[in-house]
């Protein structure tokens, strides 16, 4: 009985600290089966120490985390600068993944004003899909998955499985925290999806505005030694002062931007490796064509 109570105390502390942990991760952290975990959660719920919501962690994340529209208005000038730099990485005939971040949405807005075609874009970001599908020469595919309406994104196991049908030349990814240890994000489901995207991408770029510097989100995503490209408006000198040592070869920063209205010269980025092939978005694949 003491062992059970000690485990439940640890469980309650984990939930209090992280807020949005799915059952599978709780099982892994505490070394118990799903059946045992569900009994423990039910016991804590009965004691009114936790609140269990319909739909689990994703539903709670959607309800409590700032909505897509709220986040979109934050650090908008920084996001615009990052977006301008990102355009230098887009090439005709390639396949790109755009994730659910508001900085990535800013990249899509910049792309709409100066589209590069033909191009294929796969995204979990509903506003990005709606915006870019109207551009001639742009093929847009939306991941399947659980719809989080406030976050304007598709997440969960189905979304992860739908990634298996794709190979990307580049993945454009966002994050909620940038620390000396690496990049961090707000929700374990987002981290899992991003890691699945990384496995399917020849190259990747994390698009991080300056508001994320020295900010640690609940879940670790990737270390600096695993980074392909960091795209940010934070000068290299400021990154170093914060203890973040990024290889200059993997850095695309504000030194390339003269002003908010300036044109951005193409980056001398290495040609991405050719993809292994991509799905057509037809048949029974869990991908929705827009």
Q: What's the rounded mean pLDDT across residues 122-139?
A: 92
Q: Are residues 151 and 271 in the same domain?
A: yes
Q: Are residues 8 and 94 in the same domain?
A: no
229 within a domain of the structure (yes/no): yes
Residue 15: per-residue pLDDT: 73
Q: Quick one: residue 281, left, alpha or beta (phi over 0 = left, psi -120 to 50 = alpha)?
A: left
Write down the pTM of the prediction.
Answer: 0.67
Q: Are residues 106 and 163 in the same domain?
A: yes
Residue 218, Cβ density class (10 Å: 0-12 exposed, 13-18 middle, ≥19 buried): middle
Structure tokens at 3: 């062992």
Structure tokens at 244: 């973040």
Find the domain containing 127 and state its range: 69-289
Q: Is pLDDT above 70 for 87?
A: yes
Q: Are residues 198 and 243 in the same domain?
A: yes
Q: What's the rounded mean pLDDT across residues 82-100?
A: 93
Instruction: Kindly report the CATH number assigned to the domain that includes residue 257.
Output: 3.40.50.1360
Residue 272: per-residue pLDDT: 42
Pick from 75, 12, 87, 17: nearest CA to 46: 12
More confident residue, 218 or 172: 172
Q: Are residues 45 and 177 in the same domain?
A: no
Residue 173: per-residue pLDDT: 96
Please give the torsion angle defined by the CA atoms of residues 143, 149, 151 and 154, in that order, rounded to the nearest 10 degrees.
-20
Q: Are residues 92 and 203 in the same domain?
A: yes
Q: Are 154 and 70 in contact (CB under 8 A)?
A: no
Q: Are residues 189 and 278 in the same domain?
A: yes
61 within a domain of the structure (yes/no): no
Instruction: Kindly report the CATH number assigned to the domain that includes residue 19.
Output: 1.10.10
Q: Are residues 211 and 105 in the same domain?
A: yes
Residue linked to tokens 């003491």: 2
60 within a domain of the structure (yes/no): no
Q: Are residues 210 and 271 in the same domain?
A: yes
Domain count, the chain: 2
62 within a domain of the structure (yes/no): no
59 within a domain of the structure (yes/no): no
Q: Are residues 100 and 191 in the same domain?
A: yes
Q: How many CB atoms lie within 10 A of CB 40?
A: 21
pLDDT tens column, 219-259: 899 999 999 999 999 999 999 999 999 999 999 997 654 44
Cα–Cα distance, 121 to 140 (Å, whole number): 5
Peptide bond into 118 cis (omega under 30): yes
64 within a domain of the structure (yes/no): no
What residues form DSSP beta bridges with 207?
231
Q: Is pLDDT above 70 for 216?
A: yes
244 within a domain of the structure (yes/no): yes
Q: Are residues 33 and 101 in the same domain?
A: no
Q: Are residues 98 and 221 in the same domain?
A: yes
pLDDT tens column, 36-71: 988 888 888 788 776 554 444 444 444 454 444 554
């Amino acid at each position: 009985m003491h062992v059970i109570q000690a485990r439940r105390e640890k469980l309650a502390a984990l939930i209090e600290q992280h807020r949005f942990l799915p059952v599978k991760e709780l099982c892994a952290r505490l070394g118990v089966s799903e059946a045992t975990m569900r009994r423990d959660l039910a016991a804590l719920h009965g004691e009114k120490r936790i609140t269990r919501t319909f739909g689990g962690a994703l539903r709670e994340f959607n309800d409590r985390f700032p909505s897509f529209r709220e986040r979109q208005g934050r650090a908008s000038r920084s996001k615009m600068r990052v977006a301008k730099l990102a355009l230098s990485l887009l090439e005709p005939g390639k396949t790109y993944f755009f994730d659910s971040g508001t900085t990535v949405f800013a990249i899509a807005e910049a792309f709409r004003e100066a589209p590069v075609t033909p191009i294929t874009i796969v995204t979990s970001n509903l506003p990005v899909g709606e915006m870019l599908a109207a551009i001639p020469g742009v093929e847009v595919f939306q991941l399947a998955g659980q719809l989080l309406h406030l976050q304007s994104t598709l997440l969960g196991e189905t979304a992860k499985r739908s990634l298996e049908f794709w190979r990307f030349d580049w993945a454009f990814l966002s994050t909620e925290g940038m620390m000396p240890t690496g990049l961090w994000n707000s929700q374990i489901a987002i981290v899992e999806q991003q890691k699945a995207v990384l496995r399917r991408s020849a190259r990747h770029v994390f698009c991080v505005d300056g508001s994320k510097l020295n900010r640690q989100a609940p879940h670790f995503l990737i270390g600096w030694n695993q980074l392909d490209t960091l795209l940010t408006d934070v000068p290299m000198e400021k990154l170093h002062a914060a203890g973040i040592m990024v290889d200059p070869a993997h850095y695309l920063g504000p030194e390339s931007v003269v002003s908010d209205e300036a044109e951005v010269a193409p980056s001398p980025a290495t040609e991405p490796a050719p993809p292994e092939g991509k799905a057509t978005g037809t048949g029974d694949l869990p991908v929705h064509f827009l």
